[in-house]
Structure 1
Amino acid sequence: MDVELRASDDDRHRVVAELHRHTAAGRLTLDEFSERAGAVWTARTLGDLAALTRDLPALPDPAATAGGGGDPVGQGRRELLVLFAVAALTLLLLGGFLALTR
């Protein structure tokens, strides 16, 4: 990595996400997260961004830890949608059964 290369917004978003994961893991306080996240948006180079996470251990890729499925939030939404569909189908079948038995 050439530390003098200019950082993109995607680079900045990636670093903020990494800082958020470290905060959730208890390595950073909310104040430290806030301070570092603010510095992310003023960083100009990849080296500036790297300095903000230099004292933190490497984290596993979130896509790899979710069983290759990617977004765990999206997975939860899909499960909720399936549950809702099953509940709706159950109500329809129950309504049809009650209508036939009357």
Structure 2
Amino acid sequence: MSDPSIRASDADREHVVTALQQHVGDGRLTLDEFSERSAAAYRSRTMGELDALTRDLPAPDPSEPATAHRSLVPALVVLAVLLLGALLAMGYPATADAMGQMMSRMCG
């Protein structure tokens, strides 16, 4: 990285969040750590602030092909956790039968 005081762009922030998602998928970050760091990435104003969020993580392996499926796994896990949390917060029983009924109402 060049000058850490350079202002970060939205694309820079998204790049860091994508890297953090990859590290969740690889087991280096927990969902809580990902949540904290991604929120900080979106608040970051400079490249130095963004760099600090991934400084303790290894750089991506260029020999490993990036696939759309692999980057979706952390997002799907977060979505499932949020859905379950919303159900529990509403007092809706999170049983298999209740989930099936909810999905049938949503999809059909």
TM-score by length of 1: 0.62
CA distance in 1, matches of 2:21, 2:51: 15
Which structure 2 residue ranges, 5 or more long, are not aligned? Answer: 70-108
Task: Give the gaps of 5 or more residues in structure 1.
Answer: 75-102
RMSD: 1.6
Structure 1 runs of 4+ aligned residues shifted over 2 Å read: 71-74
- The corresponding residue for 1:77 is none
Does residue 39 (structure 1) correspond to residue 34 (structure 2)? The answer is no
Alpha-carbon distance in 2 for matches of 1:36, 1:17: 11
Once residues 55 and 39 of structure 2 are traced to their aligned partners in structure 1, the CA distance between those partners, rounded to angstroms, is 16
How far apart in 2 are the matches of 1:58 and 1:5?
A: 21
Give the match for residue 25 of structure 2: 24
Compute the displacement of 1:27 (Å). Answer: 0.4
| 1:72 paired residue number | 67
Larger Rg belongs to: 1
- State the one-letter code of the partner of 1:50: D
**Greater relative contact order, per chain length (Cα 8 Å cut-off, separation 6+):** 2
User: Which residue in 1 is equivalent to 2:9?
Assistant: 8
